[in-house]
Homo-oligomer: A and B are copies of this chain.
């Protein structure tokens, strides 16, 4: 590449965008971890100006020219993939007019503000007009995206989060999983009751000092492969994994009454962190060098939290660490099964974010069905509570009529205009199970490794199959290359049956 090639112009552009992303990402971390409240107003102003500059630079008309010209330059495979992915991002960013984005920002702001106020009051009727506004604008957005991308409207919305995911592929997968779970959940609950009749659930021996919990969390992060030369663990109200690949900022939240909630959160976020830390550094200034999307990102955190961090083999290794860091009295007299009873609890409930891995997909499938209907116009905003109530009753046996705040008003996603995001959670959970199965096939000692706190071979496999691939392939293609087949819900179902019904 010469210094004046279109490709090298795109590299320069990428470095400017990377610097702005770096700034915005670190400012967000600082806001959650360090910023005093009075700094919020100016911080929001700065973030908004930086985001505007980012958009201006990324969507400039000459960028489209460079992308077109780069296609005619002599590029190797990876460079070609970089241009393809950059073009995809450019199209997604430029398919909405500035005028539309202004209307969208207003509708979303109004709806999210009202939601924050009215959710607590359980006031659906008061919220409905703003919700209708945000759905109308989302439909319009879906049409604009669909036209630019040559996709169905709902697929065009999902394309922002998981490139290549199509509802034609997801529908049968979710249908099969739903059918499975409607029977499975009651069985798992019954199985759990039998076990508890024989072995009552032991309460945690609280309090657990926060400093001790922190050393336990750090020890487990380190064993799992988190690189503290390129990242750290802090505290924030909502745990997250942020920062940049060379400096990953994870947070947790401690409570002295329970060490498991923070610890499982740390393991989850470590999954996100490992993905970011192991992306290919030489491509960090191009879209192709970034994490693939929400479903794959969630698959990496759920791989670590659900497949690894809630497995019996993991706890064979980790139980002694609890005694070591929290003191022997923390779980005095506990056997492995006493601990597993805590991390394998199944319990139906109204709230998605509190759900366990067995019931969570039903919360997601319900939202997928409704939001798809909202975008396609087959469900009207005003009918959402009834649609919700019907599905919650059918899928989880929990009616929600007249309970809006624990029903369709519980999540920020729709009020803020994010439609097409929900499926990522469950696609991530299924992907994690499928990846674990493929890993065990390639590396039969994987469970033995966990028993001994060895994660190097497991991470090597994940680095090769997922982390180093970054955004080179679409979401479905990445999964197929890593596991040899397309998304198959059976791996997740087998995983659940093994864990919650005691099947071999």
Q: Check A46–B34 contact: CB distance below 8 A.
A: no
Kindly list chain B residues whose C-beta atoms are within 8 Å of the C-beta of A234.
34
Shortest C-beta distance, A369 to chain B (Å), equals: 42
Kindly list chain B residues whose C-beta atoms are within 8 Å of the C-beta of A27.
22-23, 26
Kindly list chain B residues whose C-beta atoms are within 8 Å of the C-beta of A23.
23-24, 27, 46, 50
- Asked whether A62 is an interface residue with its Cβ less than 8 Å from the other chain, the reply is no
Q: Check B246–A42 contact: CB distance below 8 A.
A: yes
Complex CA distance for A49 and B19, rounded to whole angstroms: 6
Q: Check B232–A15 contact: CB distance below 8 A.
A: no
- Asked whether A41 is an interface residue with its Cβ less than 8 Å from the other chain, the reply is yes
Q: Check B46–A18 contact: CB distance below 8 A.
A: yes
Q: Which single residue of chain B is at the shortest CB-CB distance from A231?
A: B36
- Knowing A26-B27, A36-B229, A37-B229, the reply to whether A15 touches B246 (Cβ < 8 A) is no
Residues of A in contact with B, size category: 35 or more
Interface string of A17-49 (1 = CB under 8 A from B): 011101110110010011111110111011101
Q: Is the interface of A mostly helix, strand, loop or mixed?
A: helix
Kindly list chain B residues whose C-beta atoms are within 8 Å of the C-beta of A41.
246
Interface string of A298-325 (1 = CB under 8 A from B): 0000000000000000000000000000
Q: Check B46–A19 contact: CB distance below 8 A.
A: yes
Shortest C-beta distance, A221 to chain B (Å), equals: 13
Q: Check B19–A232 contact: CB distance below 8 A.
A: no
Complex CA distance for A24 and B19, rounded to whole angstroms: 11
Shortest C-beta distance, A229 to chain B (Å), equals: 4
Complex CA distance for A244 and B42, rounded to whole angstroms: 9
Shortest C-beta distance, A282 to chain B (Å), equals: 12
Give 4 nearest A-B pairs by CB, closest first. A39-B247, A19-B49, A38-B229, A22-B46
Known: A15-B45, A23-B24, A35-B247; 19 extra A-B contacts, CB below 8 A, are A19-B46, A19-B53, A22-B43, A22-B46, A23-B23, A26-B27, A34-B232, A34-B234, A36-B229, A36-B230, A36-B231, A36-B232, A38-B227, A38-B230, A39-B247, A42-B244, A42-B246, A42-B247, A42-B284
23 A-B pairs whose Cβ atoms sit less than 8 Å apart in the complex: A15-B49, A16-B49, A18-B46, A19-B53, A22-B42, A22-B46, A26-B26, A26-B27, A33-B34, A34-B234, A36-B229, A36-B230, A38-B229, A38-B246, A38-B247, A39-B230, A39-B231, A39-B243, A39-B247, A41-B246, A42-B244, A42-B247, A42-B284
